[in-house]
Structure 1
Amino acid sequence: MTALNSPEMLNPPLSVSDPRHAEAVDFLHHEAELLDGLEERTWLTALVSRDIVYRVPVRETVERARGRGFHATTFHLDETYGSLDSRVTRGETKYAWAEDPPSRVRHFVTNIRTRDAADADPCLLDVRSNLLIYRTRQEQTTPQLLSGERHDILRREDGRWRLLRRVVYLDLTVIGTHNFSLFF
């Protein structure tokens, strides 16, 4: 698992005028629109690679000398295409009680940085973004907020970008949400 890298370990970001950066931004905005619109099946089939690695590592509060505090082998979510498909399929049934009626979710994607992949493969893009998820459920008056940084690898497959890898580094050590049935 790739840890949060310090800026000096990364390639410089692509210019915002680089067409690949614009494509990555468009990809992330389209993804947010699909997820906010409860179009999880379209998201999965149109934007996610069959080889997906999708993880949310557990975070703990540690002293600065011990690193960033993310576990390398313990995850809130450790998904493949098959497990993501199972989650989407379950949400399409009448047995998804934890999300029926569904939560209202809004993805705010900001500070998008795009780089060439570490191995310089032209079919891969390293995309980092900050994420804020605003979620309300039924008649709740207090929203749930989840923030963090996403480290994505996009791969060009059949002429279009697909999400190959996503690691979400949440800012929270304790997650105060009633379920994890949303997608980051």
Structure 2
Amino acid sequence: MNSELHYEISNFLNHEAFLLDHNHYNEWLDILSVDIKYRMPLRVTTNNKGQSNIVNNMTYFEETKSSLISRVARLYTSSAWAENPATRQRHIISNVMIESTSNSDEYQVRSYILFLRSRGSDHDTEKLFGERLDIIRKENSKWKLIERTIYPDQAVLTISNMSMFL
């Protein structure tokens, strides 16, 4: 990959993190393609080191643009009790690796994520970390997220709810 492309895609991912960290959810929806697939399969602990510990047919969430729009809309209502008081969150993205796909406008992008969240005056900080596998496409001269699969490193998630976006 050339450095200009890496810079563009890394900036896209950093901008996405900024939008999520600052609760700009409607703007975040704008960078998602209409055909987005957004999912997080389960990780399990296995004794067999040669066997995959990802269970792809079981997910914490499997979303479409429509379901993501509904989740975002709910955040702006009084029934979003999981976000009251509002959380403070950080999405730390690193190790961005980009590969070409068979479509010249699409790229497969791997990145690592560290998600941190605190609430109110709580002393506890929740964290989730893992790897993301994205498909990113240029549509009308703008980058769009087409597909995201999040592979958590934890087999047991230590977060209080799944109201966040990764």
Q: Structure 2: which 5+ residue stretches go unaligned?
A: none
| Secondary structure in 2 matching 1:108 | strand
Partner of 2:23: 38
Quote the sequence identity (%): 38
Establish whether residue 81 from structure 1 lines up as the match of residue 65 from structure 2. Answer: yes
| Pair 1:181 & 2:166 matched | no
Deviation at 1:53, TM superposition (A): 0.2
> Distance between the aligned counterparts of 2:21 and 2:40, measured in 1?
19
Separation in structure 1 between the aligned mates of residue 119 and residue 40 of structure 2, nearest angstrom = 22
Q: Which residue pairs with 1:93 in the alignment?
A: 77
Task: Report the Cα distance in structure 2 between the residues aligned to 1:72 and 1:36, rounded to whole angstroms.
Answer: 28
* Deviations 1:114-137 (CA, angstroms, capped at 9, x unpaired): 1112x2x11101111000011111
Paired residue secondary structure (2:113):
strand
The answer to whether 1:163 aligns with 2:148 is no
Could you give the per-residue CA deviations for residues 123-174 of structure 1, whole angstroms, max 9, x where no partner exists? Answer: 1011110000111112211211110000000011111110000000000111
Deviation at 1:23?
A: 1.0
Query: 1:93: how far off?
Result: 1.1
Give per-residue Cα distances to partners, 1:78-109, cap 9 Å, x unaligned. 00001100000000112111112211100100
The count of corresponding residues between Structure 1 and Structure 2 is 165
Aligned partner of residue 65 in structure 1, secondary structure: coil
CA RMSD of aligned residues (A): 0.9
Which of 81, 106, 130 is residue 90 of structure 2 equivalent to? Answer: 106
- Aligned counterparts, 1:1-184, within 5 A: 14-15=1-2, 17=3, 19-45=4-30, 47-62=31-46, 63-67=48-52, 69-117=53-101, 119=102, 121-184=103-166
CA distance in 1, matches of 2:7, 2:104: 15
For residue 32 of structure 1, what is the amino acid of its counterpart?
A
Q: Which has the higher strand share?
A: 2
Give the AA of the match of 1:134: L
Moved over 4 A (4+): none
Shift of 1:74: 0.5
Secondary structure at 1:64 match in 2 = coil
**TM-score normalised to the size of structure 1?**
0.87
